Copies of this chain bind each other. A is one copy, B any other.
Amino acid sequence: MNRFLTAALAAMVSLTALADEGMWTFDNPPRAAIAAKYGVTLDDAWLDRVQGATVRLEGGCTGSFISAAGLILTNHHCAEDCIAQNSTAGNDFNAAGYLATDRKQELRCQEEAVSVLVGTEDVTAKVAAATAGLGADEVVAARRKVLTGLEQACEEASAKTKGGPLKCERLTLYQGGQYWLYKYRRYDDVRLVFAPERDIAAFGGDPDNFQFPRWCLDMSILRAYEDGKPAQTPDHLRFDWDGADPGDPVFVSGHPGNTDRLLTVAQLETQRTTFMPFWLLRFAELRGRLLQFSKTSPEAQRTAEAFLNIIENSIKVRRKQFDALLDPALFEAVGTAEKSLRDAVAANPALASSAGAWQDIEIAQRTWRDMLVPYIFIENGAAFNSTLYGYARDLVRAAADRTKPNESRLAEYTEARLPALQQNLQAAAPVYPDFEVVRLSFSLERMREWLGPDNPLVRKVFGNDTPDALANRLIRQSALADPAARIALYAGGQAAIDASQDPMIRLAASVDPTARALRKRYEEQVEGPVQRGQEAIAKARFAVNGASDYPDATFTLRLSYGAMKGWKEKGEDVRPWTELGRAFERATGQMPFRIPDRWLAAKDRLDITTRANFTTDNDIVGGNSGSPMLSTKGEIVGLAFDGNIHSISGSYWFDERMNRSIGVHPALIRTALEKVYDGKALLDEIDADR
């Protein structure tokens, strides 16, 4: 425990300690700390080039341009949905792998889009002006209004300029300490170029997930298209095929999804007592249902696979996050840091307006704990776990909100968001009814359990049905699996929704009033007071600590620094790389320890000492999957795909001694393309400008 306590106190009290900690925005990189520790000075050109080559996969990952014609390197697990959606019962590319032998064979990822950050604007002062003097119950709506207006103005302006139009997205940093507009160039047309077999991409499967040593070729190659042609991407990265050596500095550029390092004790308490147990129980059961469903036929297995992988990964993450929350040392460390900041605030009359912030947040958290379960079931839609319900809810809500002024809509249905929504509605992503019924029946049953059979909405939804009967009726009688039906409803607006007899539309419409009421209560009694409190705390923190902190992760562009490094596990040194040969020794021939035939056949041609995976002490988190790992020269020395098991507690604090990132070594990528797959043309394109 003391180990964590020390590390955490260091982390909480001074976030700019000497540890390789932090997910830094590109406008505020810790240049001095990097120079002091690694003797490397990152100049603006380096940062600009890396920023321009790093892409955000809107599905939740990172990638990087690796050729001048839009090739994108990312993880296999980041492309798994796309691969599955392009597969059919007889032709499963997750199982068999895929290589487009020419550009015509590159397969469209129906639901994917990628974005490159091309500009940022600090709008903190504008938000502050628009919300000054408002009560906590009004502040959410006022802030939404000003930010929606700013987004809209930014997009309209960008359409008239060279390089436009851009997507402009609001962003909250430092828990409300700063508000920004981030401006992206978006590529809506993304295609699959190459994917190895799932068995080598995820060798070791769920048992090995978050473990090291590892031997995964967790890579895929996509290509961004513009106007039906490969995008021109002069800002791309080159490979250093030799990779890094132990001790070499390594930089990771990417989009870490979420961390909670700046939460108050009361907010962490909500996670520990309410959110995590609820989440884990729900998904553990869903995992069991889907695993059992997968055994009923190969088709069931195929259709459930991608979703199941996400659930299994998430369970592992949440479990370890929960372990961190259950560790009394975490609360002791956060409590100590919180007290020290509160003491500093109390001693400084200039910060008097921040003094009540912690208490305000605590009161809001009590409300939140009381309403969290119904909120997640009803407003978040956890009661209706199905793709078709997701469509139905979007259609119902968009129809209603499109009749309102842009600034009064739910954030998901503002003008800036509608293009992505339309892309999603018209995507020809297959829907599998049996799989949908399993998920929906499960979630309906759990809603009834947690909210109780006498809850008014439960009664309204269920009538006299069983969860199975209801799920079957909803899924099998709905037409929403057809993109044309969805687009027709979207185009028809409120009148089409009102006239629709589609049972899923009717369900979503009947749930909506309760859901919106919960949302309103949440915004007024939870989100508003919490945001207001967080802004006040952020203000105090800047005043006390200066501007040398990094913000929590928000799935926006960040830089992390570190070095190739192992760690000590129970007193034993873990070597920071693995070699290919061990994977062959470890294979059992059975999933998830099966080596694909193509690799077995190629074995004699391969150098078994080829480095396979390696570790660094970069501070990264989910969302960084697919991130380029870069040398001082800005060349790719690895492809981030995972962290070790200790890294998961990085949601709450960073322990340099234990937290490690795991990457695919470039030597394995080269070996795969050169000696196992017929990847010569791809390699030529990648290495074209050498």
Contact = CB atoms under 8 A, between A and B. Distances in A.
B284 A211 contact: no
Interface stretch (A111-119, A338-346, A464-472, A629-637): A464-472
Interface string A274-301: 0001001110111111111101100000
A591 B465 CA distance: 9
A588 interface: yes
Contact of A288 (B286, B452, B469): B286
Contacts of A208: 453
Contacts of A286: 288
A442 B323 CA distance: 23
A174 interface: no
Interface in A445-463: 448-449, 452-453, 462-463
B442 A288 contact: yes
Nearest to A328: B269
Given A285-B285, A289-B291, A438-B292, A590 B464 contact: yes
A583 to B, nearest CB: 13
Nearest to A438: B292
Contact of A590 (B272, B290, B291, B466): B466
B295 A468 contact: yes
A249 interface: no
Contacts of A463: 588
Contacts of A322: 277
Nearest to A466: B590
A153 interface: no
A285 B286 CA distance: 7
A327 interface: yes
Nearest to A282: B284
A280 B322 CA distance: 13
A24 interface: no
Contacts of A289: 288-289, 291-292
Interface in A567-597: 588-591, 593
Instruction: Find the residue from A269, A328, A449 having the highest chain B CB count within 10 A.
Output: A449
A284 B277 contact: no
Interface string A84-105: 0000000000000000000000
Contacts of A469: 590
A17 interface: no
Contacts of A588: 462-465
A204 B453 CA distance: 9
Interface residues on A, range: 35 or more
How many chain copies? 2
Nearest to A458: B207
A685 interface: no
A273 interface: yes
A464 B585 CA distance: 12
A242 interface: no
Nearest to A274: B326
A208 B448 CA distance: 10
Contacts of A284: 280-282, 284-285, 288
A498 interface: no
A319 interface: yes
A287 to B, nearest CB: 6
A211 B442 CA distance: 21
A493 B370 CA distance: 59
A48 interface: no
A348 B74 CA distance: 68
Given A277-B322, A277-B326, A281-B319, A465 B288 contact: no
Contacts of A328: 269
Contact of A466 (B315, B452, B591): B591
Contact of A273 (B204, B326, B453, B593): B326
Given A289-B291, A295-B468, A593 B453 contact: yes
Contacts of A272: 326
A530 to B, nearest CB: 20
Contacts of A290: 288, 292
Nearest to A366: B1
A206 interface: yes
Instruction: Find the residue from A269, A285, A292, A295 having the highest chain B CB count within 10 A.
Output: A292
A550 B591 CA distance: 54
Nearest to A465: B590
Contacts of A442: 288, 291
Given A280-B277, A464-B588, A211 B452 contact: yes
Instruction: Find the residue from A273, A319, A323, A453 having the highest chain B CB count within 10 A.
Output: A453
20 contacts: A273-B326, A273-B327, A277-B326, A280-B280, A280-B281, A280-B284, A281-B284, A281-B319, A285-B285, A286-B288, A288-B288, A288-B290, A288-B292, A289-B292, A292-B292, A292-B293, A463-B588, A464-B588, A464-B590, A466-B590
Given A284-B285, A288-B288, A462-B588, 17 more contacts: A206-B449, A207-B448, A207-B449, A269-B328, A272-B326, A273-B327, A277-B319, A277-B323, A280-B281, A284-B288, A285-B287, A288-B291, A289-B291, A463-B588, A464-B590, A465-B588, A465-B590
